[in-house]
């Protein structure tokens, strides 16, 4: 699920931490955050955030379990705008503030 948080006035890291996300790493312009739902670290929400002017662009998906490697790499993520991801976007709105628009 992709979200645009319009005209943020705070540091994006602070906003996502307030929403319960933990910084994971920074790669170029994107910063990765996670919010674990289970004690083992999975399932978890995984968010990639980057600034576009004064807007914060956030791409969130749900990792059901750790990726598996072998002959083919499999990522066990859920994408889209329904179920837990829709609930997460509704949860984020009052915590982050500003105008949130889905893409």
Give the CA angle between residues 67, 88, 61 to the nearest 5°: 25
77's tokens: 């993520």
Residues 1 and 82: beta-carbon distance below 8 Å: no
pTM: 0.81
Q: What is the pLDDT of residue 18?
A: 92
The model's pLDDT over 31-81, given as tens digits with 9 standing for 90+, comes to 999 999 988 889 999 999 999 999 999 989 898 877 655 565 555 566 667
- Indicate the domain borders of the chain: 2-102
């Amino acid at each position: 699920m992709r979200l645009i948080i319009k005209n943020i006035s705070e540091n994006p890291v602070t906003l996502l931490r307030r929403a319960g996300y933990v910084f994971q790493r920074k790669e170029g312009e994107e910063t990765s955050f996670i919010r674990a739902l289970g004690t083992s670290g999975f399932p978890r929400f995984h968010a990639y955030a980057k600034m576009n002017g004064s807007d914060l662009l956030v791409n969130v998906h749900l990792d059901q379990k750790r990726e598996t490697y072998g002959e083919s790499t499999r990522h066990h993520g859920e994408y889209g705008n329904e179920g837990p991801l829709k609930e997460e976007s509704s949860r984020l709105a009052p915590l982050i503030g500003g105008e949130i628009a889905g893409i």
